[in-house]
Amino acid sequence: MTSTYWTEAISEIFEEHGVTATAEQMAKVASDVELLSSTAGEYSSESVIRPGDEEVTKLRTELTLEKQKVVCKECRGHGFIGDSSDPTRYESECFVCKGAGRI
Ligand SMILES: [Zn+2]
């Protein structure tokens, strides 16, 4: 089971770097990171071969791929459309990406 701590941490990290992910994707990443953090302590920092590195690389690749998803042109990745000239429309969900920010 993934603790709420990791799910929230990943959620914050994703948000900080502008990565849009579904709750399911975040839960999966959180689960992987939690696993990594629990096994990391088992290996000495002096160890040359660290089995976790491959997983970390995989995660980074996934993150990179996530970032390379096409950003929605309509909302520029925000997932909502802000219209400063019309406050009533501010933060209405983007009709192109359905609030995902990326396509
Ligand atoms: Zn959009």
What is the 24 CA–ligand 1 centroid distance (Å)? 20
Quickly state the pLDDT bin for 64 (edges 50, 70, 90).
Answer: confident
Model-level pTM?
0.34
Measured in angstroms, how far is the CA atom of residue 30 from the centroid of ligand 1? 25
**Could you give the C-alpha distances from 8 to 4, 12, 26, 51, 76, in angstroms and in order?**
6, 6, 9, 26, 24
Question: Ligand 1 mean position to 48 CA, how many Å?
Answer: 45
Ligand 1 center to 103 CA (angstroms): 8
**Sequence-separated (6 or more) residues with CB below 8 Å from residue 49:** none
Domain ranges of the chain: 4-68, 70-103
Tens of pLDDT, residue by residue over 27-46, are: 888 888 888 877 766 655 55
**Distance from the alpha carbon of residue 41 to the mean position of ligand 1, in angstroms:** 41
How many A from CA of 97 to the centre of ligand 1? 4
